[in-house]
Structure 1
Amino acid sequence: MPSSSRRAAVAGVSSVIALVTLTACGGGSTASTGSAAKLQAAPAAQRLAGVCPKTVVVQTDWDPEAEHGPLYHLVGPGYTVDSDKKRITGPLVIGGKDTGVDIQIRAGGSAIGYQTVPSQMYVDKSITLGTVTTDTAISVSAKQPVTAVAALMKKSPQILMWDPATHPDWKTIADIGRSNAKVVYLNGSTYASLLVAKGLIKKSQLDGSYDGAPARFVSDPSIAQQGFATAEPYVYQHEVSAWKKPVKYQLLADVGYDVYPEALSVRSGDLKSLGPCLKKLVPVLQQSAVDFAAEPSATVKLVSDLATQYNTGWVYSEGTGAFAAKQMVGLGILGNEADGSIGSFDMKRVASTLKTFTPLIEQSGSRIEPGLTAQDLATDEFIDTAIGLK
C-alpha cells in the first residue's frame, strides 16, 4: 500500500500509549556512544569501499520500526542522528566489522510529506536504495520506474483483525465476508479492491474512514479493521488501556495479497551502473537480515530510541519492536524463499502479482508502463543463494 498509509494504524494508536523516554527529543544532531575508530575491517568479499557510494543512502517508507530491522542492524558505532531531518548516519558494518562505507537511513512518512518512496528517489538522486512494495512499483512504473534487488520481507504483515469475543465464529477473512460487518480500512489501499475482486469481502462492507486511532474499534468491536501482525496484536493487548485483551486476525498474504513489502529497490535506469556495488552490497543486506533475525534486541532498542528522538508523534516501544521481530520470523514474514535464500524473489509470484494488480491499479486511475514485466520489477541477479536462515 502507499507509504502514506502504511502505518496509520500504530501511528494513531501511539497517541494513547505512554512511553518511557529513552533519550532527549531536542532538535539537531546527536552523536551515539561508541566509536567507529576501533572497528575491524570486514573481509574482502564484504568490503564496499571503491565500488559503492561513500554513503549508501536508504530511503524508507515510514518511521523507524522493526520491519526495517535488517537495515538498522547495519549501523555501526559512532553514528549520528539528525532529529530535524529524521535520519541516522554511521559506519556500515556487518558482523561488527567495517565495510569501508557509511550508511544513512532516512525516515519516511511525515519526514517526506507522506510522499511515495519512488518520488523521493527521483527527486534526490543521492538515494541509493528505497523500500518499495510491489503494488507501488507497478503503479509508478510509467514515470518513476524502480527495480527491486532484495526483498526486505518475504510477505506482507498486513492483516484484517477482529474481536474474538464479539465474533467467535470468525476464523478467516472469508468469514468476515459472509457477514454484513463493516471492514474499516484506509481509503485507497489496493488490497481492499483485491478482496472484493476475489469475492472475499462485499463492496458494501468497505468503510474507508480508518484514521489509525483505536477509538472506533474499542467502541464498536463488531467491525473488522486493518492492521499489522507485527504490531496491533501486541499493542492492543498491552498498550491500549481501553482494550487490554487479545485480537484475532488473518494475514492478507494468505488470501492473495502476495506483494513483496518494502523491497529494497533502485531506480531502474541505475541498475547497470550500480551493478558492481549491488553485487557486494546485496549479500551484505542478506546477511544482516539473518543476523537481525537471530539477535534483534540491540537493533530494536535503536529503532525505539530513534522513534523517540525523531519526535514525529510515532511512538514505538521496545516491547512492540521485540514482538514484531519475533512475529516476523514466526509467521514467515522474514524468511527464506523456496531456493533457501533470504532476500530473494519468486519471479513467478512477481509475475502473478503484476497480472493481478494491473487491472486494479488501472481502475484507480494510475497509468502503468506498457509491456511492464516481472523482470522490470525485480531481479535476483545480485542474490547470494547460500545466505539464508538456518
Structure 2
Amino acid sequence: MSLPRRARTTVVLSAFSAFTLCAATACGDGTQPAASGEAIESAPSELRLDGVCPDTVVLQTDWEPEAEHGPLYNLLGPGYRVDSDQKRVAGPLVIDGQDTGVEVEVRAGGAAIGYQSVASQMYVDESITLGTVTTDGAITAAADQPVTAVMALMRKSPIMLMWDPETHPDWETVADIGETDAKVVYVAGNSYASMLVADGLIQESQLDASYDGSPSRFVSDPGIAQQGFATAEPYIYEHEVGAWNKPVEYQLLADVGYTVYPQALSARTGALEELSPCLERLVPVLQRSAADFAADPGPTVDLISELVTEYNTGWVYSQETGAFAAEEMVNLGILANEADGSIGGFDMERVERIRQDFTPLITESGATVPDDLTADDLATNQFIDPTIGME
C-alpha cells in the first residue's frame, strides 16, 4: 500500500515541549500578503516560463511546510501571498532573484487535503502541475492514478529508526534491533515495515503500528525503537522535548534497503506530453532552486517557519528544527547530486530495483499493481539538465 506521510509531533503537550505554536494574534485567517516594494528583475529568456507553463504553476506537497520541501518554497519571490484558510502560498516564481514570468503556488498536504495521497489529490484537482510522490506510493497508485516523477526532490529518504543509546548501548544498526524482542513503533501503512520483515532485519512480532507522532511513548518506554526523520527528531528530542532533552541514535532506512526516491516531483502520466514544453524549462529551474536552497537555506527556512505559524494547524515545526533539517539534508546526502554530478535526476537502474523489490510487498497489502508497469512509467530524466548540480 502507499506510504502515508509522516506522523510527526503534531501537538506536543507542555510536559514534553519548551515552546508554543504561535501567539493567537500572529495566526490570522484568510489571505495575507507579504509586504514588498521590491522590483524583480526579469529572468533571461532561457529561464522564462511564461508562454509555455500555466500562468500559475501549482505544486502540491504531501505534508505541512517543512525543510524537505525547501526547494519549492525557495521559488517564491517578493510579494508572496499566504492563504491561511486553504493552507497555500502563492507569488512570483523567481530563480536567482529573477522573475520567470509566471506565478507559483505551493500547497500544503496532510490535513489540508484530508490526508489523501498526493497522487489521488492530483486526479481530484487537475490544476495541480506537479505533486510530491514517493516511489512506492507511485507504484501503489499506478493502476488508477498513475504518476511519473520528473525530478527527485531528495536523493534518499530521511526516514530512520531511532533508539535510546543509554538503554541500548549495544545497538548500532537496524539489524541489532531485530536480534531482540524490542517493539518497533511506526505509523501503520508504511511499506518499509514489510520490507524490514521480508529482508530478515526485523521480526514480524516486533512490529507495533501504533505510532501517532507523540513523544510520550518513547519517553516513558525507552526500550522501544521508533520511526522518525533524521532531519527532525534528533534535534526535537534533544532540544524541544522537555522530558527527554538528550541525544538519540538512529540508522537511516535508506541504508538498509528503503531505497525509494522520497517526495519526487511527479506529473499525471497522461498529462506528460501536454506539459512537456513547460517541463523542459521548469524542471531545470527546480534543479537550480534545489541547489540554491542547499547552499543558502536560511531565508527559505524563515519563510517555512512563518507559514507554520500562519497556517496554525497544530503542526509543530520550529525555525530551529527547520535550520537543523536543512543542514542535515546536505550532511547525510539526502539532498545531494546523483553520481553524474547533477541534482534531481534518477538512477533508472535503481528505479527498476525499487519496482521489483516493492511491487510484491504492495500487492501483498491488497493493492493492484499493473503487470506491465515499468521503471519508465515511474520516473523519467527527460527534463533533467545534467549540467545543474550542487557545488
TM-score range, shorter chain: over 0.9
Q: TM-score, normalised by structure 2?
A: 0.97
- 8 Å CA contact retained: 1:12, 1:214: no
How many angstroms apart in 2 are the aligned matches of 1:73 and 1:302?
Answer: 9
| Of 21-30 and 60-69, the range deviating more from structure 2 | 21-30
The match for 1:26 among 6, 25, 28 is 28
How many angstroms apart in 2 are the aligned matches of 1:188 and 1:94?
Answer: 37
How many angstroms apart in 2 are the aligned matches of 1:13 and 1:197?
Answer: 34
Deviation by residue 1:263-296 (Cα, 9 ceiling, x = unmatched)? 0000000111100100000000000000000000
- Secondary structure, counterpart of 2:89 in structure 1: strand
Question: 4+ residue runs of structure 1 moved beyond 3 angstroms?
Answer: 12-17, 19-23
- 8 Å CA contact retained: 2:21, 2:314: no
Deviation by residue 1:5-32 (Cα, 9 ceiling, x = unmatched)? 4221232548743237387212100000
Deviation by residue 1:172-200 (Cα, 9 ceiling, x = unmatched)? 00000011100001111100000000000
* Residue in 2 that maps onto 1:138: 139
How many angstroms apart in 1 are the aligned matches of 2:71 and 2:2?
Answer: 21
- Secondary structure, counterpart of 1:170 in structure 2: coil
RMSD: 1.3
* Residue in 2 that maps onto 1:233: 234
- 8 Å CA contact retained: 1:9, 1:226: no
1:207 alignment partner AA: D
Deviation by residue 1:280-318 (Cα, 9 ceiling, x = unmatched)? 000000000000000000000100110111011002111
1:99 alignment partner AA: T
- 8 Å CA contact retained: 2:21, 2:312: no
* Residue in 2 that maps onto 1:87: 88
- Secondary structure, counterpart of 1:357 in structure 2: helix
1:6 alignment partner AA: R
- Secondary structure, counterpart of 2:10 in structure 1: helix
Deviation by residue 1:301-359 (Cα, 9 ceiling, x = unmatched)? 10011011101100211100000000000000000011110000000000000000000
How many angstroms apart in 2 are the aligned matches of 1:63 and 1:21?
Answer: 15
- 8 Å CA contact retained: 2:133, 2:265: yes
Residues 35 and 125 of structure 1: CA distance in aligned 2, closer, same or farther (over 3 Å): farther
- Secondary structure, counterpart of 2:26 in structure 1: coil
- 8 Å CA contact retained: 2:21, 2:316: no
- Secondary structure, counterpart of 2:274 in structure 1: coil
* Residue in 2 that maps onto 1:7: 6
* Residue in 2 that maps onto 1:313: 314
- Secondary structure, counterpart of 1:210 in structure 2: coil
Q: Give the alignment of 1:197-346 within 5 angstroms.
A: 197-346=198-347
2:8 alignment partner AA: A
Q: CA deviation at 1:141?
A: 0.2
2:26 alignment partner AA: A
Q: Give the alignment of 1:59-74 within 5 angstroms.
A: 59-74=60-75
Deviation by residue 1:349-389 (Cα, 9 ceiling, x = unmatched)? 00000000000000000011220000000000000000011
Unaligned 5+ residue runs, structure 2?
A: none
How many angstroms apart in 2 are the aligned matches of 1:27 and 1:92?
Answer: 24
1:149 correspondence with 2:162: no
- 8 Å CA contact retained: 1:14, 1:315: no
How many angstroms apart in 2 are the aligned matches of 1:177 and 1:110?
Answer: 34
What number of residue pairs does the alignment pair up?
A: 388
- 8 Å CA contact retained: 2:2, 2:141: no
How many angstroms apart in 2 are the aligned matches of 1:103 and 1:363?
Answer: 39
* Residue in 1 that maps onto 2:376: 375
- Secondary structure, counterpart of 1:91 in structure 2: strand
| Of 11-20 and 150-159, the range deviating more from structure 2 | 11-20
| Of 216-225 and 5-14, the range deviating more from structure 2 | 5-14
- 8 Å CA contact retained: 1:89, 1:105: yes
- Secondary structure, counterpart of 2:273 in structure 1: coil
- Secondary structure, counterpart of 1:167 in structure 2: coil
- 8 Å CA contact retained: 2:90, 2:106: yes
Q: Give the alignment of 1:332-371 within 5 angstroms.
A: 332-371=333-372
How many angstroms apart in 2 are the aligned matches of 1:164 and 1:196?
Answer: 23
- 8 Å CA contact retained: 1:10, 1:231: no
- Secondary structure, counterpart of 1:360 in structure 2: helix
Q: TM-score, normalised by structure 1?
A: 0.97
Q: Give the alignment of 1:41-190 within 5 angstroms.
A: 41-190=42-191
How many angstroms apart in 2 are the aligned matches of 1:167 and 1:290?
Answer: 38
How many angstroms apart in 2 are the aligned matches of 1:80 and 1:97?
Answer: 18
2:68 alignment partner AA: E
- Secondary structure, counterpart of 1:290 in structure 2: helix
Residues 367 and 12 of structure 1: CA distance in aligned 2, closer, same or farther (over 3 Å): farther
Q: CA deviation at 1:75?
A: 0.3
How many angstroms apart in 2 are the aligned matches of 1:147 and 1:96?
Answer: 30
How many angstroms apart in 2 are the aligned matches of 1:91 and 1:6?
Answer: 28
Identity of aligned residues (%): 66
- Secondary structure, counterpart of 1:273 in structure 2: helix
- Secondary structure, counterpart of 2:41 in structure 1: coil
